[in-house]
Amino acid sequence: MGFMRRSGKNEEKRSEEQEGGLREATQYFIIDKHSTWRKEIKIFDITSLIELPYLSEAWDDHIRTIQSRIPGKSKDGTEILPSLEISRARFFTSMMTISQPPDTSPIGTWKGSIFSTQKSVFEFPADSPHSSHPIVMKPMGLWTASEEFVKESVRHIGKFDKRLSSRYFTLFKQIGSQEIPVAQYRSTKLSVWIGGGVLAIDDKEIDPVVAVLWCANMLRKVEQRGAESAV
């Protein structure tokens, strides 16, 4: 009976976490250690390693097992390579390039913000399948951590799931008055920039590369706000 009661509480907690958030995911990514001062950020596609429904009862343990193998070997013994890499030539620059290893050719650029209140700009080649125009991500207000951007004339809004925590946040696509969740980030660490958090995406609703860049930008802003509040 005791075990059943704990299970019920866990299911209730999962239900609360999913309320208003992403309910279905088609792709999953792990974002490696993230810091304003790192010269590169590696993103691993772990979709083929997922064996449980999103946010099921044993989800967190399942993700920790996968995290222990990143970087490492997949089930068939092949090396798990980053599916995306964000890098910059020097530490003290906010201009970054985005590539898809092992190809080092840029598929886009990221002009990051210096302060959390500033905008970030992502640009893509003219023939890019990810966006036909630059994407500008910016805070929705001076006193809010939520960020917004427009892609193909559709407004997207990134919000933190909990008021006092920056470990969980969700991306919504706005259609009329309706907000549709299209991606969700959950950190398994106490500090989000330690890395290892999982980004779940519904790729029927959002381009995966754009979703990953949105997530990386949100993580960058979290660190910037932490540094600004310490001054």
Kindly list the distances between the CA atom of residue 5 and the CA atoms of 14, 15, 138, 150, 164, in Å, as whole numbers in the listed order: 14, 15, 44, 45, 28
Strands 40-45 and 95-100 turn out to be unpaired
- pLDDT tens digits, one per residue of 90-134: 777 889 999 999 898 999 999 999 888 899 999 999 999 999 999
How many Å apart are CA 147 and CA 164, to the nearest integer? 17
| Cβ-Cβ contacts under 8 Å for 64 (sequence gap 6 or more) | 188
The pLDDT score that the predictor gives to residue 73 is: 62
Nearest-5° Cα angle at 161, 185 to 62: 40
Mean pLDDT of 156-160: 94
Integer-rounded Cα Rg, in Å, for the chain is: 18
The neighbouring-strand residues paired with 208 are: none
Kindly list the distances between the CA atom of residue 115 and the CA atoms of 14, 94, 182, 217, in Å, as whole numbers in the listed order: 34, 11, 27, 12
How many Å apart are CA 47 and CA 100, to the nearest integer? 16
Looking at every residue in the chain, the average pLDDT score rounds to 83
- pLDDT tens digits, one per residue of 22-75: 878 999 999 876 666 678 888 999 999 899 999 888 998 898 888 877 776 666
| Cβ-Cβ contacts under 8 Å for 28 (sequence gap 6 or more) | 45, 46, 47, 50, 198, 199, 200, 201
Token couple for 39: 């010269």
Q: What is the pTM of this model?
A: 0.85
